[in-house]
Amino acid sequence: MALTGVRVIELAGLAPAPFCGMILADFGARVIRVDRTKVSMTVDTQARGKQSVALNLKSPKAVAVLKRLCVQSDVVLEPYRKGVMEKMGLGPEDLLKDNPRLIYARLTGYGQSGSYAKAAGHDINYLALSGLLSMLGRSSEKPYAPLNLVADFAGGGLMCAFGIVLALLERSRSGQGQIIDASMVEGAAYVGSFMWKSRSLGLWNRPRGENMLDSGAPFYDTYRTSDGKYVAVGAIEPQFYEQLILGLGLDDADLPSQMSVSDWPQLRQTFTQVFATKTQAEWGRIFDGTDACVTPVLSLDEVLSHPHNQARGSFFKDSQGEISPRPAPVLSRSPAEACRTRDPFIGEHTRTVLKEYGFEQAQIEQLLSDGIIECNEAKARL
């Protein structure tokens, strides 16, 4: 796999950093998640392929253990508020001094500088500060965050993984590590570059929810079908729009022009009425194999059995029977291989990892009896 041989220490976080770690693990990196001690359950739902070491970082001895792990690693990924790592003696200066090749990735909401740097926040706040939230939502409604996808995952975890891969690539030339300041505000904004760059085209001139791509246009929206399901319509180009009209059984001559914005509400009404006359599957039979850009809106449970997804193996069931998307994109020679076994228990690999990183058995037992580390192999065997 592309990242085979890369060792990553991921400090346990909420959502974006775990996703970043999972991407790296899916593509072959060895990812060791550092968990707190005295915690019964992890909130990391993206622990696929990771190992868990439990360390009480409030103790200087645990800090020393972590430093030793970082000396023999390629990447450390930290998801805490600005200053937290420095307070523990684990700031970039401390770690890069001992391992100048280390890539020190800091994944935060607001970045390492600026007046918000130390403030708590979540996806919706970062999205708001990026400018993008102001554009999301239906006409005459308040801004609406699309789950926590944009800042946490696209602009956060994924962008940070991209930064780590870039830094690894650069290190292969320079031999030097570096610090990555991954701000989710900036990551989200960057993902949204198209919004800024396409303003000159007039794509966003109208109020929120009244433009072509923000649910303003009737040919770029979802419609309810007679069985209470939905279809998605994305027939933008005239030749595709023509096929939509054909499939709907409408006559273009009876309709206003596609790009007549003032007629969009009336056109939407027509489409709504027509889509409501057949089931989602019936529309599938009409539109599949055409260029009308009409697709079913599938639930998370339905994706696995859709013929297209099935043909590509786009989703898989793990050993727990959970459906997951397969890692993307697909590399021809060194594709990712998502681990199919269960996620680790907290501290399941503390002993194995410490041994592998050169700790003596007696040292491990001492750390254990001092409450510096926790080992949970027993739980894993149950």
Ligand X SMILES: C[C@H](CCC[C@@H](C)[C@H]1CC[C@H]2[C@@H]3[C@H](O)C[C@@H]4C[C@H](O)CC[C@]4(C)[C@H]3C[C@H](O)[C@]12C)C(=O)SCCNC(=O)CCNC(=O)[C@H](O)C(C)(C)COP(=O)(O)OP(=O)(O)OC[C@H]1O[C@@H](n2cnc3c(N)ncnc32)[C@H](O)[C@@H]1OP(=O)(O)O
**Residue 144 sits in the site that holds ligand X (CB under 6 A):** no
**Residue 105 sits in the site that holds ligand X (CB under 6 A):** no
Pairing relationship of beta strands 230-234 and 50-55 according to DSSP bridges: unpaired
**Residue 14 sits in the site that holds ligand X (CB under 6 A):** yes
Question: Which pair of tokens denotes residue 191?
Answer: 């993902």
**Residue 376 sits in the site that holds ligand X (CB under 6 A):** no
**Residue 120 sits in the site that holds ligand X (CB under 6 A):** yes
**Residue 47 sits in the site that holds ligand X (CB under 6 A):** no
Q: Which of 307, 318, 229 is nearest to 275 (CA)?
A: 229
Q: Which is nearer to ligand X, 107 or 235 (CB)?
A: 107
Stretch that binds ligand X, among 54-62, 211-219, 282-290, 347-355 (CB under 6 A): 54-62
- Reply yes or no on whether 122 is catalytic: yes
Which residue in the set 46, 52, 56, 376 belongs to the binding site for ligand X (CB under 6 A)?
56
**Residue 326 sits in the site that holds ligand X (CB under 6 A):** no
Query: Shortest gap between Cβ of 127 and ligand X (angstroms)?
Result: 9
Pairing relationship of beta strands 315-317 and 294-296 according to DSSP bridges: unpaired
Which residue in the set 3, 9, 15, 127 belongs to the binding site for ligand X (CB under 6 A)?
15
d(CA 7, CA 265): 55
Q: Which is nearer to ligand X, 14 or 339 (CB)?
A: 14
Which residue in the set 1, 2, 71, 84 belongs to the binding site for ligand X (CB under 6 A)?
84
Query: Shortest gap between Cβ of 304 and ligand X (angstroms)?
Result: 23
**Residue 122 sits in the site that holds ligand X (CB under 6 A):** yes
Residue ranges with strand state E in 173-235 = 178-183, 220-224, 230-234
**Residue 43 sits in the site that holds ligand X (CB under 6 A):** yes
**Which letter does DSSP use for residue 153 in this model?**
I
Q: Which is nearer to ligand X, 111 or 284 (CB)?
A: 111
**Residue 201 sits in the site that holds ligand X (CB under 6 A):** no
- For 6-22, give one letter per residue: b (16+ CB within 10 A) or e: bbbbbbbbebbbbbbbb
Beta bridge partners, 233, equal: 221, 294
**Residue 36 sits in the site that holds ligand X (CB under 6 A):** yes
**Residue 232 sits in the site that holds ligand X (CB under 6 A):** no
d(CA 298, CA 225): 13
Q: Which of 222, 217, 219 is nearest to 296 (CA)?
A: 222
Q: Going by C-beta distance under 8 Å and a sequence separation of 6 or more, which residues neighbour residue 278? A: 225, 226, 286
Query: Shortest gap between Cβ of 66 and ligand X (angstroms)?
Result: 8
Annotated catalytic residue, options 152, 181, 214, 221: 152
Stretch that binds ligand X, among 75-83, 192-200, 212-220, 274-282 (CB under 6 A): 75-83
**Residue 10 sits in the site that holds ligand X (CB under 6 A):** no
Crossing angle (nearest 10°) for helices 184-191 and 123-130: 60
Residue ranges with strand state E in the chain = 7-11, 30-35, 50-55, 75-78, 103-108, 178-183, 220-224, 230-234, 294-296, 315-317, 323-325, 373-374
- Reply yes or no on whether 308 is catalytic: no
Query: Shortest gap between Cβ of 95 and ligand X (angstroms)?
Result: 15
Residues taking part in catalysis: 122, 152
Binding site for ligand X (CB under 6 A): 11, 13-16, 34, 36, 41, 43, 55-58, 79-81, 84, 87-88, 108-109, 120-123, 148, 152
